[in-house]
Copies of this chain bind each other. A is one copy, B any other.
Amino acid sequence: MEGWTERQQEIMDQAVFLIAENGIQGLTVRNLAKRIGVSEPALYRHFRSKTDILLGILDHFALASEGMREMLSRTDCPSLEQLEAFLVSTLKKFQERPEITAVIFAEEIFQNEPRLTEKVANIMRKHQESLLTVLTRGQACGMIRSDVSAEGMTLLIQGSIRLLVSRWRMTGYGFDLAEEGRGLIEMLRTLLTHNK
């Protein structure tokens, strides 16, 4: 299903930048064309509509988030270390390309276009399922405490990470996300593993 041309890639990349700068309202066909240095109709040679551009962007993210699924399919009892490594690497990716956080955590923004909202919901659900699998296995291995539900833990983990990234964005990327993320993960480990 993938197979973007160079031009399409450039269009999607710059669209993400525009969203990061001024929110979804900053992404207009005009702005996008100007930024790339072509006319508006030129964009329609590469995407049939503006919605298709956004769908392409989301596909990109959906693909990129397959990493965790892969990880947990490779082992029966994925360690917390693996999970932590995955989270840290994700945060590092955000730090390298801060603009993508404006898109990946802003589901509210895609309302009114059902195809977009559905795709976003799918991505979120898959993420939660992956996390749930890891946690459940960790509980089975006795690595993770079992006196609280794994579902509840996904709420804690996903929620706190999302909020951390939100705060990072709202402060203008004014702190070291990966560093703070490591702190958060350390805290999660303290809370979620059996205490000695």
A43 CA to B177 CA, complexed, in Å: 44
User: Are A163 and B158 in touch, CB under 8 angstroms?
Assistant: yes
Give this chain's copy count. 2
Q: Which residues does chain B contribute within 8 Å of A163, judged by CB atoms?
A: 155, 158-159, 162
- B109 & A187 in contact (Cβ 8 Å cutoff): no
Kindly state the separation between the CA atoms of A170 and B120 in the bound complex, as whole angstroms: 10
Interface majority SS (helix, strand, loop, mixed), chain A: helix
26 A–B contacts, CB within 8 A, in A order: A22-B111, A22-B112, A23-B108, A23-B109, A25-B112, A102-B108, A106-B108, A107-B166, A107-B170, A121-B170, A124-B170, A148-B190, A148-B191, A149-B187, A152-B184, A155-B184, A156-B156, A156-B159, A156-B187, A156-B191, A158-B163, A159-B160, A160-B160, A162-B162, A191-B192, A195-B195
| Extra 20 A-B pairs, beta carbons < 8 Å, given A107-B166, A124-B170, A159-B161 | A22-B111, A23-B108, A23-B111, A23-B112, A25-B111, A25-B112, A26-B112, A102-B108, A107-B170, A147-B190, A148-B190, A148-B191, A155-B160, A155-B164, A156-B191, A158-B163, A159-B162, A159-B164, A160-B160, A191-B192
